[in-house]
């Protein structure tokens, strides 16, 4: 009887440790999944649209054109 009781105790402890480790692993996986989803949302906010890029490039090109005109006027003097 004592051997059977000892064996049951050992198995209970082993199964308890395994179930605790599995639960911790699953909780960590869920946490990582949440962080990954948040990262995806934040990355989408940081991207610019093609329209915004085109607007910014047009502004830069306009400034360069004006600067070019000023340089041409200075060179003509």
How far is it, in rounded angstroms, from Cα 73 to Cα 65? 12
> Does residue 48 or residue 51 have the better pLDDT?
51
7, 9, 17, 20, 23 from 13: Cα distances, Å? 10, 6, 6, 10, 15
pTM of the predicted model as reported, rounded to 2 decimal places: 0.50
- Domains of the chain by residue range: 1-46, 48-77
32-45 pLDDT tens trace:
999 999 988 887 77
Residue 1 has pLDDT above 70, yes or no: no
């Amino acid at each position: 009887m004592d051997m059977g009781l000892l064996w049951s105790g050992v198995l209970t402890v082993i199964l308890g440790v395994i179930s605790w480790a599995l639960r911790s692993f699953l909780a960590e996986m869920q946490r990582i999944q949440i962080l990954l989803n948040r990262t995806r949302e934040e990355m989408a906010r940081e991207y610019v649209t093609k329209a915004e890029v085109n607007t910014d490039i047009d502004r830069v090109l306009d400034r360069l054109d004006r600067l070019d005109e000023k340089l041409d006027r200075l060179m003509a003097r």
